[in-house]
Each structure stands twice: as C-alpha cells, then as structure tokens.
Amino acid sequence: MKIFKQISPLKAHLEAARLSGKSIGLVPTMGALHKGHLSLVEASQAQNQITVCSIFVNPAQFNNPSELLKYPRTIEKDTEMLKEVRCDVLFCPETEEMYPHQSMIKLDFDPLDKVMEGKFRPGHFSGVGLVVSKLFNIVEPDHAYFGQKDWQQFAIINQMVQDLSFDITLHSIPTLREPDGLALSSRNQRLTNEQRPHATVFHRALTLAKHKLLEGERPEAVQAVVKNMVENEPGVTFEYFELADSTNLNSIKNVEASNRPIMCIAGYVGEVRLIDNMFVE
C-alpha cells in the first residue's frame, strides 16, 4: 500500500494509473476505522483496479469544537487495517495540506441540509460538501463509496455530484452492525462499558417503528412511541426521529408516499452523539 500525505505526489501517482486504463475508487473516511469502513474498501476493490482510502478529520464539518478534539484518531492502527485488506493507496493529509488558506466558501443544500442532522448541526453539511469536493477534485475517482448509516450525507453528496457535474458514480453500502444491532461507528469507541448496552436503543426503536409503520400505524403515533422508548433508556437523550423520502429527505405522512421511505434517528448516550437509520420495506 502506498501512503501519501501530500496532494501533488498522489495526483501524479493516480494520473499514471488512469493513463494505463485503471479505474479508481475512493473511500473517504475520518479514520478510527472499523469493519464498516473496510466493507467500503472491499466494495471498491470489487469494482476498481485502484482503491484510495482517505483519512482526514475535517475541521470544517464540526460545529462543536469539543467534538473535533474528542474525535478518535488512530492512524497507526488504521494503516495496519488497510494493509491487511490490501488497500492500494492511503491518503492521510494534515489540515494545512487540505486547507492551506482560510476557506471562504459556504455551501447551501437547501432544503436537504435544513432537516435532521442539518437542523441540529448547522454548517455541518457545508463542511462535508467542501471536503468531499476537494477529495473528488484531488483523486478524480470513477466511483466513490459511502456508508448507509450517514444517509442524509449520501443524499446531499449525490445532489452535489449532479449539480456540479462530477463524473463520479456514488455507492451507498449497507450499514454493518454488532450482533446486538448497534451500528458500527467510530464514535462507539467513546462509549463506556456501562453505556454500551443502552446504545442499542436506537436500533431497537427503529425495528419497532418499522414493524408499526408496516402495520399501518400513523407516523405521528410511531414517533411518540419511539421518543418515549428512547427517553426512558437510562443515560440516553432523544434528539429526533423522522420518516422521510430517502431521495429528497422530505418528511412523509405515510410509507406509501415514497418509493423508498427511510426512518432516521439521533440522540446522545452520555456525551456521545449517535445516529442510525433503516429503510421501511
């Protein structure tokens, strides 16, 4: 595996691969890798001759400075994990390399970034869109891979690709879970042994909500059940539960109103903020 910390040598390496006819897949991450990230790498390897995994904790997408400081950084372990799955390229730049100057651009994805995560984390998706645009321009991948757990992010990036005419095919890879249902996440590393069992409440709530919605219960009633369930879990704080159209993220009143409705949920376990989602199908 070749490791690059600077943009210019990475671009030169990939240009040579591109001229030889090799397709390139990109897996953008913020590190603290787990099996979910590796499943994205494997999906890329199945479709491309070259797979690039980027590791960069992007300061532009953190609206809470303390969250940026607390975000786990395990670059040595991450590097070994990528070597084990035979990833071709690791791009792990420093902040000064990605942002040599103070960025002035603010991206607005209205209405996609005004609901759910965007409502509770203003400015977050502007930072996401900025860094993903940079990575797309640097790597120039044929394909890019994202996890389903961050579905709102995927929907927003998909819109950005269309609007800015990036010649890239996006792929959303199903969320991997622990045996008890907890979605794999880098943030799980911050959960204490006491908090860990309570973090499964989000998946339990989604599973119950899906059952009730498919039985015909109204979303408002289901939302109330979910809210009550999460709020009664020790050490857990409820933030939101939404039934939405998975394409435009518009809130819907019944599952028949969308070709592929999705339920999204978020909250805190102690000080650790977790998100999850599930399609209703």
Domains and CATH numbers, the chain: 2-173 (3.40.50.620), 186-279 (3.30.1300.10)
Can you give the pTM of this predicted structure?
0.95
The helix/strand count (H/E) of the chain reads as: 10, 9
pLDDT number for residue 257 = 84
The pair phi, psi for residue 109, each rounded to 5°, is -110, 30
68 pLDDT band, cuts 50/70/90, is very high
**Spacing of C-alpha 21 from chain mean position:** 30
pLDDT tens per residue, range 31-48: 999 999 999 999 999 999
Proportion of the chain above pLDDT 90, given as a percent: 94
Average pLDDT over residues 135-157: 98
Residues 6+ apart with CB under 8 A from 182: 188, 196, 199, 200, 203
Instruction: Return the structure tokens found at 95.
Output: 């902040």
Does the pLDDT value for residue 64 go beyond 90? no
pLDDT for residue 136 is more than 90: yes
pLDDT at position 259, please? Answer: 87
Mean pLDDT of 255-274: 95
Mean pLDDT, rounded, of the chain: 96
Rounded CA-CA distance 75/59 in Å is 17
pLDDT number for residue 154 = 98
Q: What is the pLDDT of residue 222?
A: 97
Q: Average of pLDDT values for 257-274?
A: 95
From 37, 124, 143, 203, the catalytic residue: 37
Binding residue ranges for (R)-pantoate:
61, 153
101 flagged as catalytic: no
pLDDT in tens, 74-84: 999 999 999 99
pLDDT for res 142: 98
Q: What Cα–Cα distance (Å) separates residue 22 from each residue in 61, 168, 245?
A: 32, 15, 36
The string of pLDDT tens digits covering residues 69-114 is 989 999 999 999 999 999 999 999 999 999 999 999 999 999 999 9
Residue 222, amino acid: V
Residue 240: per-residue pLDDT: 97
Whole-number pLDDT of residue 89:
98
pLDDT of amino acid 63: 84
